[in-house]
Amino acid sequence: MTTYAGYGARILSKLTSDGIDKLDARLIATLRGNFRIGLLEAARRLHVARNTVVARLAKLERRGVITGYGPEIDPRALGYSISAFVLIELAQGQLAEAVAVMDETPEVLEVDAISGPQDLICRVVARDTEHLQAIVNELLRTPAIRRCTSYIVLSRQVPPRTGPLVDAAGGAGRR
C-alpha cells in the first residue's frame, strides 16, 4: 500500500484558468485531514478507483497545486517561542546577496518581495527576544541589507490554511 507520510500538502493558489473540480478539492481535503492515509483508502473514502486518485494527484502535482508532502511543523514545539515579521529595506541592486544571507539563516522561514517603502517581508522564529535581536543583527551585517524593522507576533488569530481556498476553487464555496 502506498502512503504519503505527512499529507500536510502545501497548496498554493497556482490554479490555471480551469481551476480544480469538486473531486480534486475532496481529494485534497481527505489527504490533509488524514495525512497517513494510503491511496487505496483515499480512493475507498472518495468512492473512486485507486488509479483515479493516482492520476488526480499526478495532475495536481504537475500543475503546481500540490507543492509538497510532509508533516507540518510547529516551531514552538522545537523551542522557538517567538515569531516575528521582519521588514527589510535593501541597498539598491542587492536583492540576490540579501536573499543568500536569509537563505543561510535557518530561523528565517519565508521571505517575500513586497511593494511599499520596504523591499522584503520575512517570517522569522527565535527562542527568545535576545535571539531575535541576534538574528536581526546578523542580517544587518551584510551590506545588502540597509534596515530591518521587526514586529513580534503576539498571538495567531488565523493559522496558515488552504482548506477554504481549495473548497472555493473546487466550487464548494466559489464567489
Domain of residue 96, CATH code: 3.30.70.920
Q: CA 141 to CA 126: how far, in whole Å? A: 18
Question: Of 38, 57, 72, which marks where a domain is finished?
Answer: 72
Which residue's entry shows cell 546578523?
A: 138
* 98 and 54 within one domain: no
Flag whether 67 is in a domain. Answer: yes
Flag whether 9 is in a domain. Answer: yes
Flag whether 104 is in a domain. Answer: yes
* 92 and 134 within one domain: yes
Q: CA 61 to CA 63: how far, in whole Å? A: 5
CA distances from 92 to 99, 102, 119, 164 (A): 13, 17, 10, 39
- Kind of pairing, strands 120-126 and 108-113? antiparallel
Parent domain of 130:
75-152
Q: What are 28-50's pLDDT values in tens digits?
A: 988 888 878 899 999 999 999 99
Look up the pTM and report it.
Answer: 0.74
Per cent of the chain over pLDDT 70 is: 87
What pLDDT shows up at residue 165?
87
* 89 and 67 within one domain: no
* 54 and 111 within one domain: no
Domain of residue 41, CATH code: 1.10.10.10
* 114 and 100 within one domain: yes
Q: What are 127-160's pLDDT values in tens digits?
A: 999 999 999 999 999 999 999 999 999 999 998 8
* 106 and 81 within one domain: yes
- Cβ neighbors of 159 (< 8 A, separation 6 or more) are none
Per cent of the chain over pLDDT 90 is: 66
* 103 and 64 within one domain: no
* 91 and 146 within one domain: yes
* 136 and 79 within one domain: yes
- Domain count within the chain: 2
* 108 and 45 within one domain: no
Q: CA 66 to CA 6: how far, in whole Å? A: 13
**The residue type at 136:** V
* 16 and 3 within one domain: yes
**The residue type at 44:** R
